[in-house]
Chain A
Amino acid sequence: MLGMMYCSKMAATSAGRALSLCRQFQKSLSISTALPLQHTNVLTSCKAQLSTFRPKFCLLHINNVGTSLAQQCRALHTSQWRRGLEEFFDETPNWGEPTVKSGAPWTAKQLRTKSSEDLHKLWYVLLKEKNMLLTVEQEAKRQRVQMPSPERLKKIERSMKRLDTIVQERENALRLLQTGQERARPGTWRKDFLGRTFWYRFKEYPIPWYLNRRYKRKRFFTPIFVDSFIRLRIESHLHRKILKKKADLENKRKLQEQFSKLSART
């Protein structure tokens, strides 16, 4: 399923398993497209395919065959995934192994090709996998044993981060097109009591601001006596800028002195 991608050079035993999973996934994907998209349905179909194997050819099947099966498989039931709490642990053959093979994490480029529904399912697959890895990690710490392949955790985290980036990108695009708003959370530029300008992000309150005592204690204006300090701050900023410029020129001059005889110039 859409778990972590495995390299194609896998053991022969897993190829058969991958094929069967591929078929299961085919069926369940077609069913999920046939049935109305409710939250629970998405999750049940997702549960049916939990596995850490995701062979490349699985994807090809979906692209070619998905639409035709949708019409036929209206009344089919997917088998309920009954593992329940066992999903918090790795597959039984992997217990006690010093290393467990896992593929590369999902890249942003690959994730951008997936539909939102697929990404939603993938999120939960990754979530379950991460729960499993955290369980194994904690158990290993308890038993004072090395956890097999701890790099899997990092891979999952990266995949999830990238998934989130892509979902955010899509949401941003939709919001820009529909409303023209650049940001999801409204905000504004304000001056704090020290005269510094910052982006204040709005927060939701059940009462208006003039009744909010704690909010009124935050001063979003600069008192007059701070002006001299603002001037000093500007001076020091300019001074630092000039110093930096001078230092850059000096550095350039030194390099020129050392390397002027070379013909190649970048």
Chain B
Amino acid sequence: MCLSVPLPRYPLYQLGNPQLRIFRTNFFMTLVKPGKEQPPDTVQFRIPMEMTKCDVKNYLEKIYSVPVGAVRTRIQYFKTDRAMLTSYLAIRFPKALSSLPGLQAQQQTFQFPEIFPQKDTALEPGSVEEMQDQFMQDEQQRQKADPRRGGVTEWFGL
């Protein structure tokens, strides 16, 4: 979760100070499908490490107007991608994950939708894609071994 703008240094809080207000948040939340089956009113997000439970609750209530009950956070470790590997020591790094069994307040359920449905694309008869597809299929057919050999590789042949 890259930050487009570096996180600000929050002013020090001491008893009696006014409530901290943030006018342009820099937190981004990613909705993820949970690995294990969760009850229907639970939603799972990936949040930056700097976010607290209060932050998550306010974020969803104010920006998305989603009624939130309880927020639970945990830290999950991720492996660095090759591109991000700056030092060979930083192999695992933590990212926070929060699950919100929260929509009980309004009896709402949330089902993670299928964003990438299987679409049967019927290729046009005269198009370039169709010809390419046909060509690739012919090539693959040619590359296949002789079926009469019964699955035995060429290595055993003459």
Contacts and interface: CB of A to CB of B under 8 A. Distances in A.
B43 interface: yes
A96 B30 contact: no
B107 interface: no
Interface string B88-126: 000000000000000000001010011111110000000
Given A127-B25, A139-B33, A205 B12 contact: yes
Contacts of A47: 63-65
A226 B72 CA distance: 53
A149 B17 CA distance: 46
A120 B24 contact: yes
A143 B33 CA distance: 11
B66 interface: yes
B100 to A, nearest CB: 10
Contacts of A80: 65
Contacts of B1: 134
A138 B64 CA distance: 20
A203 B113 CA distance: 46
Contacts, number: 95
A140 interface: yes
A127 B63 CA distance: 10
Interface residues of B, number: 34
Given A95-B116, A96-B116, A145-B116, A40 B62 contact: yes
A261 B30 CA distance: 63
Contacts of A95: 113-117
Interface string A134-152: 1111111011010000000
Q: Is the interface of A mostly helix, strand, loop or mixed?
A: helix
A96 B9 CA distance: 41
Given A136-B115, A157-B4, A160-B5, A128 B66 contact: no
A216 interface: no
A90 B11 CA distance: 36
B115 A134 contact: no
A134 B28 contact: yes
- What is the size category of the interface that chain A forms with chain B? 35 or more
Contacts of A185: 9
Nearest to A44: B65
B66 A84 contact: yes
Given A80-B65, A88-B31, A127-B25, A161 B4 contact: yes
A115 B56 CA distance: 28
Q: Which 4 A-B pairs have the closest CB atoms?
A: A204-B12, A160-B4, A134-B30, A88-B31
Interface of A: 39-40, 43-44, 47, 80-82, 84-85, 87-90, 95-96, 120, 123-124, 127-128, 130-131, 134-140, 142-143, 145, 156-157, 160-161, 164, 167, 185, 203-206
19 contacts: A43-B63, A47-B65, A81-B65, A84-B64, A84-B65, A85-B31, A87-B64, A89-B31, A89-B113, A89-B115, A90-B115, A95-B113, A96-B119, A120-B23, A120-B24, A130-B4, A134-B28, A139-B32, A205-B12
